[in-house]
Amino acid sequence: KMKKAQRLITFLLATLILVSCGGKTADTETTGSTSVTESGSDSAEPEYTYEKYDLGGREFNILSSTYPYYFYETIDLENMTGETIDDEVYRRNRKVEDMFNMKLNVKEVVGKESSELVMTCVQAGEDVYDVATIPFDTSSAQILSQNCLLNLKDIADFQFDEAWWNNQLNDRLVIGSEKKLTAVFSDISLANFEGSYVTFINSGIVEDLGLEIPYDVVRDGKWTLDKMAEYMKAGANLNGDSSFRYSSDGNAVYGLTATLSFDQAVIAGSMDLFTVEEDGSVNIAANSDKFVSNVLKLSDIVATPGEMLYYNKSAEDNYEKVFRDERALLMVGELKAASMMRASDFDYGLLPIPKFDESQSDYRTVVGYGFLFCIPIVCDTPNESAAVIDAMTYYTYKDVMPLFYNERISQKALRDDDSIEMLALINKTRCLDIGRLYGWSNMLYQVMENATKNQKKTVASDLASKLDQIEASIEKTVDAINSAQ
C-alpha cells in the first residue's frame, strides 16, 4: 500500500510540475525566435519557445504591490540569501535577464498604491512601468473597470494555452462585452498559491482521539462538510475549563478554528457566487435556493460552542496562534500558515477544503489573497513586457514551484508524503470568486456572517434585502468596462 501511495504521489507531482530537474540551457534560434531545451531532460518534454527580444541592457520596470501579511511576495532579490526559494528566485531572474538583455528593476509599494500609481501614469501619458501587480481585492476594481490596462489576450507573447498559466483562475477574470483579459494570476508571486484556503489538522490530537487523518477519505471524494463536522465534534474538549469561551491562558480545545473567511471558503467552494455569461454579462448565482440552503447548513454545523471558534483578535492573536498552541484539532486558513509553522514542534497534516456534499464533482480551492499582473495601456513595448513575464512564469513553474513544494512547504513545514499529495490536489483545484475582486461579494459575506457567527436563520430575507444593491453594483462595473472598450 505504501509503494502504491508513493507511486501516486510521484505521478501527481510529475503531472503538476512537468519538469522537476534543472540543468544548463542551450538556445537554438529559429526564424527570430528562441527555443530553450533543458539538458538531461526527457526528449519528449516540451521546449520553451519565445521571441528573442533584445532590450539593449535597459531596465525592465516592475511595480509590485505587497502587504505585510507574511506571504512570500518577493519578485526579485539583490543577492542570494542561502534560503532555497530565495536563491532559485534570484537564479530565475538572472536567467530571464540574460535571455532578453535587460535588468529587472522592482519597485515595491503597499496595497492599492500600485493601482493608484498606474492610473497616475496613464492619465499623464507616461510610460513608467513595463508591468505592474495589483491586489486581488476591491482596491483594484477601479483600475480594472477603466481604460487603463492592455488586453493581454491581444499580445501573442503571452502563451496562455501552456501549462505554466493557470487558466482555471484567469478565465474567471474575463467580464464585459469585449471579453478583455486585463490582469492575470501568475505564480511569479508565490503569494498567489499561498493565498489559497486549506484545512490543517493536528496529527497528535487525531491520534489521541483514536481517529485517522482522512487522506483516504479525500482520495475517495468523500471529504465533505458533514465529515468535517464529525471531526469538529470529536475535537471539542473543555479540558478542565468551565466553558468554551476562549482565553489565551485557558485549556479548552476546539474542533475547528478560523476567521470568517472559513464561511467564504466553504460556500464559494461549494458553488459559484457569480457567473459570467457568453455575452460578458454577470449573473448572481447566489440568488438561489442552493445558496440559502448551503448557508443554513453551515450555520447549523458551526452553532455548537467548542466545535467552532471564530477568532481573529489581532495580527498576532488569532486563529493561527490557537492552532499553533495546539488548542484546535482543525484550522482553516491560507496555505501560507504552513510556512508560518515551520518552527512548530508538533505534527500536522494538510487537507483541501471539504466538498459541500458527495454530489459535488470535485474539490474547489478558493483563492482569497494574491496579486494580478497587468500592463499599463501607456506601455510602448507591450510585446517585450509579455515575453519577459511569460518567461518568468515558465521558470517559476519549472524551477521555483518544485522547490516550493519540496523545501518551503513539504520538508520544512508539512510533515508527511500524504500532505504533499494533498498539496498537489489543492494546486490543481484552485478557483476564485470574481465578486471578491469587484466588491459584489461583500454583501453576501455579510449574509453568511449573520447566519454563522451571529446564528440568525434569516438567510433568505437577508439575501433578498441585498440583491438590488448587488445588481446595481454589477451593472455599474460592467457598464464602465464596456464603455472603456
- DSSP per residue, 48-69: EEEE----TT-EEEEEEEE-SS
CB atoms near residue 74 (< 10 Å): 18
**Res 383: pLDDT:** 98
- Secondary structure class of 237 (helix, strand, coil): strand
Helix axes 442-451, 261-268, angle to 10 degrees: 110
CA 240 to chain centre: 39
**Res 310: pLDDT:** 97
- Look at the chain and count its residues: 485
- Secondary structure class of 476 (helix, strand, coil): helix
**What residues contact residue 53 under an 8 Å CB cut-off, 6+ apart?**
100, 383, 384, 387
**Res 28: pLDDT:** 37
Sheet containing strand 33-38, edge to edge, reads: 25-30, 33-38, 48-51
**Res 415: pLDDT:** 60
d(CA 189, CA 360): 30
Helix axes 289-301, 261-268, angle to 10 degrees: 130
N-term to C-term CA, the chain: 57
Walk along the chain (485 residues) and give the pLDDT tens digit of each residue.
433 344 344 434 444 433 333 333 334 333 355 555 443 334 455 679 999 999 999 999 999 999 878 898 999 999 999 999 999 999 999 999 999 999 999 999 999 999 999 999 999 999 999 999 999 999 999 999 989 999 999 999 999 999 999 999 999 999 999 999 999 999 999 999 999 999 999 999 999 999 999 999 999 999 999 999 999 999 999 999 999 999 999 999 999 999 999 999 999 999 999 999 999 999 999 999 999 999 999 999 999 999 999 999 988 899 999 999 999 999 999 999 988 787 778 888 899 999 999 999 999 999 999 999 999 999 999 999 999 999 999 999 999 998 887 765 654 556 678 888 898 899 999 999 999 999 999 999 999 999 999 999 999 999 999 999 999 999 999 999 998 76
**Res 45: pLDDT:** 56
What are the residues facing 202 on neighbouring strands? 348
Identify the sign of the CA torsion 18, 20, 21, 25. positive
**Res 445: pLDDT:** 97
Q: What is the DSSP string of 396-458?
A: IIIIIHHHIIIIIIIITT--SHHHHHHHHHHHHTEE--HHHHHTTTHHHHHHHHHHTTS----
**Res 208: pLDDT:** 96
